Chain A
């Protein structure tokens, strides 16, 4: 018995030592981790520099992409410096130059490591925006193939693309700015397979609302302006069809999908009231119809009754306080004066180039104290759209709006 125990112990010890002697560890890679890291960094250094016209960088700041996307062109040179073009720049011949580097940080990372007013625009904080606009300036380099480098923002995690440019940066950015110019201030008439889809646009995000198999669906789609139209951040499925790139037609003022049948028709207002304040002088000569005048008298009396204040007989409309984002209608109540504001939208009407639609958006500054003025706002919005007559088609300073549905409602606005 004892012998058996010894033999077992002996074989056990023997087996441990013999197996522990295997030194033949197989290397998974031919190079050390450090060598591979350096090789990856060098690969991207070379790739980035290897483009005469630079790279188109389709940049999406913010985790939620609430500002949509912006086009940059970045041109890397031998001396660690990078020239940056951006669609927000005015002089396209003057790119902003700063330094860049490709560093290793859990993978190769492209970093813009000295300040560049364009590249860091969405990342620069202020007292009001201590988190800036959530822009990245360091990007994990994920892959490069077929002249496209895929990167990921280290802060937002947003995936973005650098595409090798084949034309000068100025030319590309100029085309982007031109198309972006058409989008500003327009409203949109969207159809999918010929059916109307409700669409709102704000900060380069479209909100589409439609019915899919009987379900009310609402999707928010960030987009970027390209040299030929617009491109959604990622493919969007609407009623079973996938959409991403839309081509702009300047004659028809429309964007059409390459695949499927999505069309976005721009509806441009006949007059832009939103970039400056306009005045409606209630007691002026021939400045408003009796209906408008009488409604004003009604709210004037209501205001005296509620607050014992006098309502100023000049009502402000349009871009009342553009600095505060107050677009709509404002009333002034004396003494004070106290301003109360209701946000309105001023937009075009499809197929009616002379019509202006005015619609309620939301209650604004001080409105909760002055809800008794709402009757006047109701008259303005309930009788929209309006036929627009201007003193000067190019630079109007006086505009007469006459309700299309009710000839008894009209008023004249004068540019402040």
Chain B
């Protein structure tokens, strides 16, 4: 055994000792969390939301706004408490319950956005126009202009809130399972992209086969706009729209709607006509609803 070998062995021994010495005697206590969560007291409305949104659907209905958590591109204010209560009841009645009437079990729990946020003011852009609603990654739907809520005006309810909800929810569906590419081909050359808001004169988008100006932005928007408009218009109102669209426009929309209907039926087992009937029936009985309730009967 030469001297070098001894040195090697000695070194290895020392390294092992020192490495071993580095294990800690006291690890962190797994029973104590380093995160302290403040427990908040729930008011009656919070408890009600728990019952109608969180427990059945795992949806968080956010009526207290934290501006620093909201879209910093806009100057926004929170929603009026009283209007948030109305809106909570409205969304449940006119949207969730309508899907519940026609969709398979477990559909809403799995796919409906997990957060619905109320914002009091509209989201104004610097050109004076306003954003009606936004959705973030299929997770959160933000509804604006809650402070101007008028529950007696069904058309305004559709326009400002429900078309937005149906629109955004439909995005989640096609992002989960895409629709047929045949849809893309129907108006393939007519989409106008970002210039959708100044590309059309009044009514001309309809004649070109788009249910709204925004439909003409791109195929995905076209697809979800058709769903949102179809179910928020009565059969008669839809027929009037098709009349106004003229021969060309109504033929194009009809072709697209055939794909929309087949898609919802085959992929999601939802009959869009039944869904529309449910929403229309519910809207007609809106006046009988107690929208201020915060207790379960």
Question: Which A residues are closer than 8 A to B by beta carbons?
Answer: 2-3, 6, 9-10, 13-14, 17-18, 20-21, 23, 32-35, 37-38, 41-42, 79-80, 98-99, 101, 103, 105, 109, 111-115, 120, 123-128, 130-132, 137-138, 154-155
Contact = CB atoms under 8 A, between A and B. Distances in A.
B124 A125 contact: yes
Contacts of B11: 9-10, 13
Interface stretch (B18-26, B93-101, B103-111, B193-201): B18-26
Interface in B1-31: 3-4, 7, 10-11, 14-15, 18-19, 21-22, 24
A214 to B, nearest CB: 44
A3 B19 CA distance: 24
A3 B3 contact: yes
Interface of B: 3-4, 7, 10-11, 14-15, 18-19, 21-22, 24, 34-36, 38, 41, 43, 63-68, 74-81, 84, 120-122, 124-126, 128, 130, 147
Given A17-B14, A114-B78, A120-B77, 6 more contacts: A3-B3, A14-B14, A38-B36, A112-B78, A115-B81, A155-B67
A113 B76 contact: no
Contacts of B80: 114-115
Contacts of B35: 34
B110 to A, nearest CB: 30
A130 B7 contact: no
A111 B36 contact: no
A384 to B, nearest CB: 40
B77 A137 contact: yes
Given A17-B19, A114-B78, A115-B77, A125 B67 contact: no
B78 A127 contact: no
Contacts of A103: 66
Contacts of B124: 125-127, 130
B18 A18 contact: yes
B118 to A, nearest CB: 9
Contacts of B126: 130
A174 B124 CA distance: 35
A17 B18 contact: yes
A101 B43 contact: no
Contacts of B81: 98-99, 114-115
Contacts of B10: 10
Contacts of B22: 17, 20-21
Given A6-B4, A13-B11, A38-B36, A114 B125 contact: no
Contacts of A18: 18
Contacts of A20: 18, 22
Given A14-B14, A125-B124, A126-B124, A137 B67 contact: yes
A125 B124 CA distance: 7
A127 B18 contact: no
B78 A23 contact: no
